[in-house]
């Protein structure tokens, strides 16, 4: 029997829910994102294919009444993952009038892997987290218990905060906001675990979860490493003293400016080369790339039209994130005041470094250095460098002292 592996959590298309900032509950979009892994009757992933889908929202049970039905045509990626926005398909129904308070609800997906209307792959999963922002739209003038988060609080008064708005998601100042943050954090953790299980993300020894990206024949982390332990669980020494850092000839790591709170999740950690040399820094089945493997990456981008004008070796713009860089006051630029497009998905960000000579920190938002696993000589290792005033990815054979604190990206074995 053909089957569909579904990620049974609807992802709200309200970016404020998942990112630090503000969420205006009353202005929720009438759609939600849904992801599924498509497998055929041989249990093989259906990759890079156009598929057609019929999506039904069922009320009360997996065989309940369909309160909403739509059809869509979508494409699976190289991992067999399809992503759609429920609420935007072809339908005679009105997604906006679903009463989310009258759950439970289930999503039934029927798929034709050939793109027609012979829906041979079927899957049904419960909406364990009825879309909070959508539900809140109908509750924006009501104080009371929201069923979807009863396990997190006795009562949540949606309209207690000004205009039904979460004022500070990162450090909430009001009780109902704190509970909502806990709810969202729990939902994020569920999604991360499902994506790790599906091979869409990777987890390190500390439990940090990373996005990944396929570039050519390689699979890279799309974020900087931030683990404090090797993949066998052995702790890596955290070194905060400038003097101790500059004298260190053994493994060590730190956070930029010794400020974990502000830089761990946005920039990752800084490691010396002795940490890299242990060979266990990346998660199991991943490794710190060699100098040659970095060259494979940059050669692929150069040879496949990732130069800023579609050709050439000015590929840094295609690898740089669209924020986290300084150039003439314009965020997200790498050279010549042209905005980075991050078309490769590598998402490089300017993380600065820690100096080998004095242990000081420098060049945040201007530079990033990434270690390779390749030694130049007993005192130095090869690196790659991005600079906010250059559109090139530099292969550096100087300023590479092994005591330096640089970023690390991991590559799948």
Per-residue pLDDT of 67-83, as tens digits, reads 999 999 999 888 788 88
Angle at 128 between CA 123 and CA 129, to 5 degrees: 125
CA distance 314 to 16: 34
Q: Would you say residue 202 lies in a domain?
A: no
The pair of structure tokens assigned to 343 is 């078309």
Instruction: Provide the greatest CA pair distance for the chain.
Output: 70
| Mean pLDDT, all residues of the chain | 78
* 224 and 166 part of one domain: no
> Quick one: which of 309, 330, 329, 331 has its CA closest to 318?
309
Q: Is the dihedral of CA 12, 13, 15, 19 positive or negative?
A: positive
Query: How confident is the model at residue 101, as a pLDDT?
Result: 67
Per-residue pLDDT at 139:
38
**How far is it, in rounded angstroms, from Cα 220 to Cα 92?**
43
- pLDDT at 198 > cutoff 80: no
Q: Is 73 in the same domain as 125?
A: yes
CB 342 within 8 A of CB 319: yes
pLDDT over 70 (residue 113) = yes
Q: Is 162 within a domain? A: yes
In a domain, 203, yes or no: no
Q: Are residues 192 and 53 part of one domain?
A: yes
215 lies in the same domain as 276: yes
Q: Who contacts 263 (Cβ-Cβ below 8 Å, separation ≥6)?
A: 255, 256, 257, 351
Q: Is residue 58 part of a domain?
A: yes
- Does 71 lie in the same domain as 163? yes
Residues 220 and 133 in one domain: no
Q: Are residues 214 and 352 in the same domain?
A: yes
- Residue 387 falls within a domain, yes or no? yes
Instruction: Quote the pLDDT of residue 183.
Output: 67
Any idea what DSSP says for residue 159?
A: G
Please indicate, yes or no, if residue 318 is contained in any of the structural domains: yes
Total domains in the chain come to 2
Name the domain boundary from 171, 197, 223. 197
User: Residue 234 has what pLDDT?
Assistant: 97
Q: Is the pLDDT of residue 152 over 60?
A: no
Residue 10: pLDDT over 50: no
Q: What is the mean pLDDT of residues 357-378?
A: 95
**What's the length of the chain?**
413
**Residue 163 scores a pLDDT above 50:** no
Range of the domain at 114: 3-197
Q: Regarding predicted confidence, which is higher, 154 or 100?
A: 100
167 and 110 both lie in a single domain: yes
């Amino acid at each position: 029997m053909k089957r569909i592996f579904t990620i049974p959590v609807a992802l709200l298309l309200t970016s404020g829910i998942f990112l630090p900032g503000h969420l205006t509950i009353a202005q929720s979009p009438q759609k939600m994102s849904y992801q599924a892994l498509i497998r055929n009757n041989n249990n093989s992933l259906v990759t890079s294919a156009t598929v057609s889908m019929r999506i039904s929202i069922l009320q009360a049970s997996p065989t309940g009444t369909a309160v909403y039905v739509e059809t869509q045509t979508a494409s699976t990626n190289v991992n067999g993952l399809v992503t759609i926005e429920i609420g935007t398909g072809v339908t005679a129904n009105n997604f906006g009038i679903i009463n989310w308070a009258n759950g439970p609800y289930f999503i039934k997906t029927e798929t034709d892997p050939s793109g027609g209307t012979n829906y041979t792959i079927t899957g049904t999963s419960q909406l364990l987290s009825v879309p909070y922002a959508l539900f809140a739209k109908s509750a924006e003038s009501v104080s009371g218990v929201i069923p979807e988060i009863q396990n997190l609080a006795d009562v949540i008064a949606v309209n207690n905060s000004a205009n039904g708005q979460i004022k500070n998601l990162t450090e909430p100042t009001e009780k109902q906001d704190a509970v909502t943050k806990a709810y969202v954090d729990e939902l994020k953790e569920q999604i991360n675990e499902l994506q790790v299980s599906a091979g869409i993300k990777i987890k390190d020894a500390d439990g940090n979860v990373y996005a990944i990206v396929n570039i050519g024949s390689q699979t890279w982390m799309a974020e900087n490493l931030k683990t404090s332990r090797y993949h066998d669980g052995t702790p890596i020494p955290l070194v905060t003293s400038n003097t101790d850092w500059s004298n260190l000839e053994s493994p060590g790591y730190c956070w930029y400016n010794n400020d974990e709170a502000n830089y761990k999740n946005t920039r990752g950690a800084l490691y010396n080369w002795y940490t890299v040399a242990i060979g266990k820094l990346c998660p199991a089945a991943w490794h710190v790339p060699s100098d040659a493997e970095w060259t494979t990456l940059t050669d692929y981008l150069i040879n496949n039209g990732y130069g800023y004008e579609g050709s050439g070796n000015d590929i840094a713009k295609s690898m740089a994130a669209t924020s986290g860089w300084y150039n003439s006051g314009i965020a997200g630029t790498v050279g010549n005041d042209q905005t980075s497009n991050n078309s490769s998905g590598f998402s490089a960000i300017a993380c600065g470094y820690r100096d080998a000579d004095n242990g000081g920190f420098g060049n945040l938002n201007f530079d990033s250095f990434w270690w390779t696993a390749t030694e130049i000589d007993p005192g130095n290792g090869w690196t790659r460098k991005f600079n906010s005033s250059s559109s090139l990815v530099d292969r550096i054979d100087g300023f590479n002292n092994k005591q330096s604190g640089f970023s690390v990206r991991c590559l799948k074995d």
